[in-house]
Amino acid sequence: IFFSNNILLYITTGYWDIEAQYKPLLHTWSLGVEEQFYILFPIIYLTFLKYRKYIFFSIFTFILISSLSLFIYKSYSYESYYYYLLPARFWQLTSGIFAFFIFKNFNFNKYLTLSLIILTFILNYIYSHLYLEHKWIPHVSATLITTIFIACREKTVIHNVLKLRFLKLIGLISYSLYLLHQPIFSFFRLYSSEVITLQNSLLLLCITFIVSLFTYKYIEKPFRNTSLISNRKFYIIIIPVSSLLIL
């Protein structure tokens, strides 16, 4: 409720604590962060929109650097804060804005794009294995790689790879995969005495994939099709269901 599960988890549970593995809704902390960002970002955007482009961009650069600095600082001293809360995660979501800016204003050479991603992977591997205490490095590397992916134009190597049918399918069902993977793994831990082995993990991943295909086809797609479910029908369905869940 009110997109606050990340705050509740910050108060009660460390993400890497053993008991966290048994919480079916643990992963919804990221939804809380995202929705808080979607509420805050338009306010910041409209506040500074009246300024010239370079001032506007400079302000967002300052916000990104400040948030990233807080993220790195808290990663050494307060793990739950840097993992769960928006101030330390704001830079990751803001990087999407930079990806859009790059995509709109620059045209990466296809070999430069691939080189940047390979270099990022190599640096991430080196630092994550030699300097294990620097927990922030994999996060920064993953965000940088994702930003480059988003900024890729057509006819680059990365763009062509992402056009593969299997990867496009993963993208289409990714939200369902995200929503379902944690409950499936958590309920297995809660109701089974078995330790999750590699074989169990593969089986649970297959189940998650199959159920995600089903929910994408029969829930996501119909709700997105306004010819099947109009806005009026949507609100008639969602408001009573949401009210029942809140009660």
What Rg do the C-alpha atoms of the chain give, in angstroms? 20
The Cα 33–Cα 218 span in angstroms is 28
The Cα 91–Cα 65 span in angstroms is 7
- Give the confidence band of 9 by pLDDT, cuts at 50, 70, 90: confident
Average pLDDT over the chain reads 80
Q: What is the pLDDT of residue 181?
A: 93
230 or 35, which is more confident: 35
- Give the confidence band of 90 by pLDDT, cuts at 50, 70, 90: very high
Compute the CA torsion angle 142, 209, 2, 89 (nearest 10 deg).
0
Q: What is the pLDDT of residue 206?
A: 95
Least confident of 85-99, 143-157, 207-221, 228-242: 228-242
151 or 219, which is more confident: 219
**pLDDT tens digit string along 64-83?**
899 999 998 888 888 788 88
Residue range 196-209: average pLDDT? 91
**pLDDT tens digit string along 233-247?**
666 666 676 666 555
**Residues making up the chain, counted from first to last:** 247
